[in-house]
Structures are given as structure tokens and as C-alpha cells.
Structure 1
Amino acid sequence: MPQPVAVADDGLEELRAEAMTWGRKARGFGSFYVTEHMVRAMRAYGWTIIVGALGQPVLYLLGLAVGLAALIDAPMEVAGEQVPYFVFVAPALLMTSAIAVASEEFTYPVMSGFKWRRYFYGFNASPLSSGQIANGVVAGAGARMGVTVVLYFLFIVLFFAWLQPDATRPGTAWMAIFIALLGGLSFGIPLMAYAASVEDDKGQFALVQRFIFMPMFLFSGTFYPLMNLPIWLQWIGWISPLWHATELGRVVTYGQPTPPIMIVVHVVYLLALAIGGLIIARRLFERRLAK
């Protein structure tokens, strides 16, 4: 009689050991698993992503290159140098595309994970930690931003070649892709932290679009140099991640003259927003998922 019990105990120990092994593996790759889920979930609105990623740059660039730029004969003068209007605006539109994606992916999907579909609680019931869940959300949104930014950048390159076939462009233009990703994360991650603190949707995210994203888009030196604004409006650009990312984008795409100290300020500011936002978001995820 004791022998079957011993066998059962051995089998139980093996199951426990196997479960511990899989648990350690899940915890080791937890952020990746959450990222995979977020990317797979995007298939529900995959056509929206594709059409937006392809259609938005075409409409904006055609509207500016064929429309508005054709009406503005005089080039923009920035830091004592004259720049064609489309060349001036294009980096700002690239950065805006990343921030627009961030404003979508870091709001309602986060709210859905906590309140509507509550899949964050399912993740948290597994060996995954709350910090890994937050990391996975960031990486998933970053993946969508990457697709949008790369396509936007390719369209910009094609338009540059069409508008200025003989123009010389710096070999650093490709860095604008990573600057746009950093700009999108520097805006989106703090927004994710805010979304993690929202218990009920009462139109807060719509207010973010109207009173944060839109003023940032209009008053961050997107369509004209920030210094052309009255001093009482320039502060919007100073605190806007869009302005800091756009200034860096103009440096690498057409060589806008910028003091080295300002380049450092732009990079540090964007990193501080992204890293600081992630620290706060991870704490809010932990507090929310512990309920």
C-alpha cells in the first residue's frame, strides 16, 4: 500500500518541478509574452492601422507639398539659413505620426486591460509581474509606432527625391526614425501612467486629444519656427515632447544649425519623460493589479 502513495508523491514532485520551470521561463520572457499579446490584439483593427500608416502620410505630404508649399514661395528662415517649406515641415509631421499613435495605444487599450476586458488581471495571475505587463504594453505600442514611422519616413524620402532631386541630404536622416520613436514614447508612456490611474472613462481621453495633443501639434513649431510665436505661447513648445523631437529631426534630416548643448537638452528631456513615465506607470500598474 505505501508504494502507490510514493509513486504519486514522486509524480506530484515532478509536476511541481515542471511547473516551476515553466514559471521561471514565463517570468524571464514575461515582457515578450505581453508584447506578443498586444500585437496580436491589434489584428482586430489591423486594417485601420494599415490604412492609417499608408494613407496619412500620403494625404499630409500631398497637401503640403502640392498644396500649401506651392502657395508659400518664400522659404523658411531658421537660424539664419533658408529652408524650403516642405523640408522644414516634413520632420515635424514624422514626429507627429509617432505621437498620434501613442495617443491611441496608451489610452483606451490600457483602460481595456484594467476595466473592460481585464486581461491585465489574467496576466498578473500568472508568473508575470506587473512591471513586465507595463513593459509589454510599451513594447507593443512601440511596434505599431515603428511600422507607422518607417512608412512615413519612406514617403518623406520619396517626396524629397521628387521635389529636390539634386539636393544633398545628410547621411544621418535615417536617425529620424529612432527620434520619432523616442518622441512617441516620451509622450505616450506618461499618458499610459495617467490611463492606469483612471477608474472610469468619463471623456478624459477625449480631453487629452483636444486640450493637450492638439495645442501641442499647433504650437510646437510644427508649421513655423517656435520663435515666431508670442512669448506667452512659446512655453507650450518648450514643454512639448513634439517640439524637442522635431528639433532633433530637423538636425538629422537637413542639418538645421543647433547648438550642441540644445541637442543634449532635447535628448535628455525626451529620455527623462520616457523613463520617468515608465517608473510611475510600473508603480501604478502594481498598485492597480494588487486590488
Structure 2
Amino acid sequence: MTTHAPRPYGPSVRARTVPPALREFAYWLHRYRRTWRGTVVLNVANPLLFLTGIGAGLGTLVNDNNSAALEGLSYLAFLTPGLLAASATQTAFMDSADPVHQSVQAKGHYWAANATPLSPVDIFHGHVLFNVFKVALSATAFTAVAVAFGAVDAARAPLAVLATLLVGAAFAAPSAAWAVTTRRQSTVLAVLRFGVMPMFMFSGTFFPLSQLPGWLQPVMQATPLWHGVELCRTAALGTGTAGGTAVHIGYLVALMAVGLLAGRRTYQRHLHS
């Protein structure tokens, strides 16, 4: 008579081999399955409206005046990479800060996840990974529309997406690391209104920094979004130098690393049971 070995209790071998952070990522991905259609529409509709209304519409006025500040570029070609970086910044911040703030509240998702074998660091890494994944989707959709408009060369589109992905990761990690410490949603909204939005407007997205007052230019050059805009713009246009590209990448990688290190500490402190 043939006998079968008893099946071991506990997680399967396959489950044990999955990195814990990917289980947290899978949770957010499962939630995203219910809303992804609306998100994709926004990711295509928003760049389409921006590029049509501002790039092709308002841009004709800039082109007619032959603005020397654009160094011979059309306004559409100048604007598009800046919008890529700025959109990645907004996506990374809003998808990190507010969901993290909601998840750490009483009866929020983090406390349910924290009751499983997942550690606070696993929860942090998995959530940041999902936010970077959403930035990648948004950047790909935006770049595809830009290529269709002729605003980005198809051969340079992958570089533009990679640069945008780095911008998103550089904002997602520190945003989540900070948001887990907040107790009021008004704090998140205040940072969005008085921190992220001014960078969106004055970090070279819509016009060169040379158009700003002299004292404000070095202030904006110290912001992470300016480095992101410059990296995306030089990647899309092929105008980067080795030194400048290294500075921009180094700045954003350092910001991401600081965010990851800070997040390990803040998540352990605030989710420790």
C-alpha cells in the first residue's frame, strides 16, 4: 500500500521564498486592480490636455516671439520633459504621503499588516515599491503621448522614462518615511500646497530659471525637482554632459537613499508593537 508523506503545516515553500516586501506590494497591487482603469485614463488624458493646451497652444506664442531663453527649442520640446519630472513628483508624493497617513491611523492597513510576519521595514519597502511602480506606469503613458505629439524622440523615450522613474523614487521614499510620522491630514495637505506646488511652478518646469530673480535661482537649483527636471530634459533632448548628469543622478540617488534609511527608522518606531 502506498503511503503519502503528511503535508507540512505553515506557509508553502513557494510562499516562504517570496521576499516579504513583495507581499506588501501585492496587497497594494490587488487594491489597484479596482481603480487602474480610471488611473490609466488620467495618465493619458492629463498629458494630452497639457501638451495640447500649454505646449501646442500657448507654445505657439512663445515660438513666435523666438524666445532666446529656450536656446532654439520649441516650447513643446522644452516643456514636455519638465512636465514628466513634475508629474512624477506629484504622483510619488500624493501616492506616498496620503495613503501612508491613512494606513497608519487606527484600524488602518498597516496595523493589519503589522500583525502578520511582515516587519515594519517590509511594509515600508513594499509600499514604496508600489508607488514607484505607479510612477513607472504614469511616466510610460505620458512619454507615449509625448512621442505621438513629436515632443520626444522615440529613440530617447526609454531614457526619459528611466530618468522620470529615478525622480519618482527619490520623492516616494522620503515622502513615505515622513508621512508615517504625521497625525493630521492637514499637515500632508500643507506640505503639498506650500512645498510641492511651489517646486512644481518654479523649478524650471514651465520656464528657464534664468527668468527668475537672481536671488531665487540658486534656491530653486537646490531643490530636488530642479535636478529631476534637468535630468529628464537632458535625457529627452540628448543635451546632457557627463558631469551635469552625474550631479543630477547623484543628488536624486542620495535623496532616495536618505529616504530609505529614514523610512526604516520611522516605520520601526511608529509601527513597533
Contact 2:98–2:185 at 8 Å: present in 1 too? no
Aligned to 1:7: none
So what's the TM-score if we normalise by structure 1? 0.84
Distance 2:86 2:213 in 1: 22
**Counterpart check, 1:46 vs 2:36:** yes
**What whole-Å deviation, never above 9, does each CA across 1:107-134 have from its counterpart, x for those lacking one?**
1211122115422222222221211111
Contact 2:59–2:75 at 8 Å: present in 1 too? yes
**Counterpart check, 1:255 vs 2:246:** no
Seq. identity, %: 30
Bigger mean CA deviation after superposition, 69-78 or 110-119: 69-78
Q: Which runs of 5+ in 1 are unaligned?
A: 1-10
Taking a change above 3 Å as real, the CA distance of residues 48 and 203 of structure 1, as seen in their structure-2 partners, is farther
Task: Write the mapping of 1:246-285 to structure 2, written as runs, cut at 5 A.
Answer: 246-256=229-239, 258-285=240-267
Contact 2:132–2:172 at 8 Å: present in 1 too? no
Question: What displacement does 1:26 show?
Answer: 4.3
Taking a change above 3 Å as real, the CA distance of residues 48 and 117 of structure 1, as seen in their structure-2 partners, is farther
Taking a change above 3 Å as real, the CA distance of residues 117 and 67 of structure 1, as seen in their structure-2 partners, is farther
**What whole-Å deviation, never above 9, does each CA across 1:51-110 have from its counterpart, x for those lacking one?**
32121111101112331112111445469x411111011100111121121121111211
Equivalent residue for 1:197, pick from 181, 186, 192: 181
Distance 1:183 1:63 in 2: 25
Contact 1:219–1:233 at 8 Å: present in 2 too? no
Contact 2:69–2:210 at 8 Å: present in 1 too? no
Taking a change above 3 Å as real, the CA distance of residues 196 and 86 of structure 1, as seen in their structure-2 partners, is same
Bigger mean CA deviation after superposition, 225-234 or 150-159: 225-234
Distance 1:56 1:170 in 2: 20
Contact 2:147–2:154 at 8 Å: present in 1 too? no
Q: Which runs of 5+ in 2 are unaligned?
A: none
Aligned to 1:4: none
Task: Write the mapping of 1:103-252 to structure 2, written as runs, cut at 5 A.
Answer: 103-160=93-150, 169=153, 171-198=155-182, 200-252=183-235
**What whole-Å deviation, never above 9, does each CA across 1:210-245 have from its counterpart, x for those lacking one?**
111111011101111113211221234223222112
Taking a change above 3 Å as real, the CA distance of residues 56 and 285 of structure 1, as seen in their structure-2 partners, is same
CA RMSD of aligned residues (A): 2.5
What is the letter of the counterpart of residue 171 of structure 1? A
What is the letter of the counterpart of residue 158 of structure 2? W
Moved over 3 A (4+): 21-28, 43-48, 74-79, 169-173
So what's the TM-score if we normalise by structure 2? 0.89
Distance 1:145 1:284 in 2: 23
Question: What displacement does 1:153 show?
Answer: 0.1
Which structure has the larger Rg?
1
Question: What displacement does 1:22 show?
Answer: 4.5
Aligned to 1:5: none
